[in-house]
């Protein structure tokens, strides 16, 4: 077949095809579009409305203006406990996770034998990370008579009630999150593979040491990937629910130190059925997550390096 024949028909029937393309296009995306409107858009609009009511699933609703927000910010101490717990968790767990992910990715960015096996081992905790089984396991590991206390008992130390102590309980959850650095690790690894080896070779000739190479070459070239991981992990961190729900048995104990925002929202919405209040909480969460993402995006121009900038 000649070239002319291949190029011919795509251009020609443009006018008649335009209308048809619209029909076919919307036909193909209709499953998503319909589901989005029914299960995404309408619930969001309703949720926004509910935020200004005292809706209770059995008692119905009254419009109460900004009362939910007033209660949240000025009266509800547990609300602030949950904010404090979540912020502490995100601020510590997300950077830890990313540092581990980058460190291990750099270790595994080599052509040595056995790397595929190591990669699988480091990723394994993340594969099962969201499961109830692992959360249950974690609870048993840090239980009063659990593995950790058994191990420190071998060294003659007195056992600690990890999950019952207000200073320690949240650290078990932070550790659980830090342990699951597999996904950002694989994304970092893919990013590291993109960095041309010649850069390191010429840096070596110039006498650069490992630390200089990291801060002058590896990290700057990796900033787009760091940025992406940071945004995704921040969002995921704020929405952490299952692990806290299982490990504290849905209580947020001790003293609300593990009462994550999503957990408190669940308790208000589905335990006491204060769904208006819970909706207001959800919208505050949405605004905060959106603001944070916007801040990360806005500051990204200062520290994220994109290759296309070179030409400017």
Q: How far apart are CA 262 and CA 286, in angstroms?
A: 11
Stretch binding another protein (CB under 8 A), from 62-70, 84-92, 105-113, 252-260: 105-113
CB 122 within 8 A of CB 97: no
| Token duo for residue 169 | 């309980």
Per-residue x/- track, 54-73, another protein (CB under 8 A): ---x----------------
Distance in Å, CB of 268 to another protein, minimum? 10
Write out the binding residues for another protein, residues 130-169 only, by CB under 8 A: 130-134, 136-141, 145, 147, 150-151, 154
3-state secondary structure 64-91: CCCHHHHHHHHHCHHHHHHHHHHHHHHH
Quick one: which of 53, 54, 82, 279 contacts another protein (CB under 8 A)? Answer: 279
In the complex, the smallest distance separating the C-beta of residue 65 from another protein, rounded to whole angstroms, is 19
Q: Identify the sign of the CA torsion 34, 40, 46, 49.
A: negative
Binding status of residue 183 toward another protein by CB under 8 A: yes
Q: Among residues 61 and 312, whose Cβ is nearest to another protein?
A: 61
Write down the least CB distance from residue 168 to another protein, Å. Answer: 17
In the range 214-243, which residues lie near another protein by CB under 8 A? 214, 218, 228-229, 232, 235-236, 238-239, 241-242
Tokens of 6: 């291949």
Structure tokens at 179: 């342990």
Kindly identify the residues of this chain, within the stretch 246-275, that bind another protein according to CB under 8 A: 246, 249, 262, 265-266, 269-270, 275
* Residue 170 or 234 with smaller CB distance to another protein: 234
- Assess 206 for contact with another protein (CB under 8 A): no
Structure-token pair, residue 13: 């029937």
Q: Which of 15, 111, 302, 312 binds another protein (CB under 8 A)?
A: 111
What is the distance of C-alpha 170 from the center of its chain?
17
- Rounded distance, CA 226 to CA 223, Å? 5
- Cα separation, 185 vs 120, whole angstroms: 11
Answer yes or no: are the C-beta atoms of 142 and 172 closer than 8 Å.
yes
Among 69, 168, 219, 283, binds another protein (CB under 8 A): 283
């Amino acid at each position: 077949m000649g070239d002319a024949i291949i190029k011919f028909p795509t251009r020609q029937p443009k006018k008649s095809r335009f209308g048809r393309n619209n029909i076919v296009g919307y036909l193909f995306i209709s499953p998503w579009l319909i589901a989005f409107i029914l299960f995404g858009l309408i619930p969001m609009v309703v949720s926004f409305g509910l935020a200004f009511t005292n809706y209770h699933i059995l008692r119905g609703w009254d419009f109460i203006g900004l009362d939910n927000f007033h209660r949240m910010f000025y009266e509800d101490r547990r609300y602030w406990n949950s904010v404090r717990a979540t912020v502490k968790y995100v601020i510590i767990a997300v950077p830890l996770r990313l540092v581990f992910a980058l460190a291990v990715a750099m270790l595994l960015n080599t052509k040595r034998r056995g790397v595929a096996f190591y990669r699988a081992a480091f990723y394994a905790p993340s594969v099962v990370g969201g499961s109830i089984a692992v959360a249950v396991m974690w609870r048993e590991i840090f239980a009063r008579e659990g593995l950790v206390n058994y191990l420190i008992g071998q060294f003659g130390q007195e056992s600690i009630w990890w999950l019952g102590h207000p200073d320690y309980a949240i650290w078990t959850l932070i550790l659980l999150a830090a342990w699951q650095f597999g996904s950002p690790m694989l994304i970092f690894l893919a990013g590291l593979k993109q960095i041309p080896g010649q850069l390191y070779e010429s840096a070596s000739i110039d006498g650069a040491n490992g630390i200089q190479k990291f801060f002058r070459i590896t990290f700057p070239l990796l900033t787009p990937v760091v940025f992406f991981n940071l945004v995704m992990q921040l969002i995921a961190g704020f929405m952490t629910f299952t692990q806290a729900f299982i490990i504290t048995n849905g209580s947020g104990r001790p003293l609300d130190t593990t009462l994550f925002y999503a957990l408190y929202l669940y308790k208000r919405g589905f335990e006491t059925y204060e769904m208006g209040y819970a909706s207001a909480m959800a919208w505050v969460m949405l605004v905060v997550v959106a603001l944070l993402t916007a801040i990360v995006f806005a500051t990204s121009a200062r520290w994220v390096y994109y290759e296309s900038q070179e030409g400017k």
